Amino acid sequence: MKLCVLCNTNRAQLKRPKTGQQICKTCFYAVFEYEIHCTITENKLFKRGDKVAIAASGGKDSTVLAHTMKLLNDRYDYGLDLCLLSIDEGIKGYRDDSLETVKRNQLQYNLPLLVLSYEELYGWSMDKIVAQIGTKNNCTFCGVFRRQALDRGAARLGVDHIVTGHNADDVAETVLMNRKLLVLFQKFTLTHFPLVFRGDFARLTRCTSITTQTLETSATTAPEHLTIPRSKPFKYTYEKEIVLYAYFLSLDYFSTECTYSVEAYRGYARVFLKDLEKVRASAIMDVIHSGEAYAQSLDEIERVEAENGGKKKKKTVVQKQGTCERCGYISSNKLCKACVLLESLNKGLPAVSLE
Ligand SMILES: Nc1ncnc2c1ncn2[C@@H]1O[C@H](COP(=O)(O)OP(=O)(O)OP(=O)(O)O)[C@@H](O)[C@H]1O
The preferred substitution site among 36, 52, 54, 57 for testing ligand 1, maximizing ligand atoms within 8 Å of CB, is 57
Would you tell me how many other CB atoms lie within 10 Å of the CB of residue 93? 9
| Res. 55: pLDDT tops 70 | yes
Task: Kindly give the interhelix angle for 60-75 and 239-248, rounded to the nearest 10 degrees.
Answer: 70
3-class DSSP assignment, residue 146:
helix
**What homologous superfamily does CATH list for 43-346?**
HUPs (3.40.50.620)
Distance from Cα 255 to the centre of ligand 1, integer Å? 12
* Poorest-pLDDT segment among 120-124, 168-172, 256-260: 256-260
Give the residue numbers of the binding site for ATP.
Answer: 55-57, 61, 87, 165, 170
Query: Confidence class of residue 189 from pLDDT cuts 50, 70 and 90?
Result: low
Cα–Cα nearest to 50, from 152, 153, 160: 160
pLDDT of residue 71: 98
Upper half-sphere CA count for residue 315 (Cβ side, 13 Å) = 8
At residue 320 the predicted structure's pLDDT band, cuts being 50, 70 and 90, is low
- Write out the E strands in the chain: 14-15, 22-23, 51-55, 81-88, 113-117, 161-163, 211-212, 230-231, 322-323, 330-331
Instruction: Specify the DSSP class assigned to residue 252.
Output: -
What is the pLDDT, as a whole number, of residue 36? 98
**Mean pLDDT value of segment 9-35:** 97
Confidence band for 259, pLDDT divided at 50, 70 and 90: confident
Structure confidence at residue 256 (pLDDT): 87
> In terms of DSSP bridges, do strands 230-231 and 330-331 run parallel, antiparallel, or are they unpaired?
unpaired
Please give the average per-residue pLDDT across 219-234, as a whole number: 68
For the chain, the structural domain boundaries read 43-346
Average pLDDT, the chain: 86
Class of residue 157 by CB neighbours under 10 A (exposed 0-12, middle 13-18, buried 19+): buried
| CA 145/CA 138 separation, integer angstroms | 11
From ligand 1's centre to the CA of 187, what distance in Å? Answer: 33
Q: Check: CB of residue 46 under 8 Å from CB of residue 161.
A: yes
pLDDT at residue 351, as a whole number = 58
Per-residue confidence (pLDDT) for residue 195, from 0 to 100: 34
In whole angstroms, give the CA distance from residue 125 to residue 142.
9
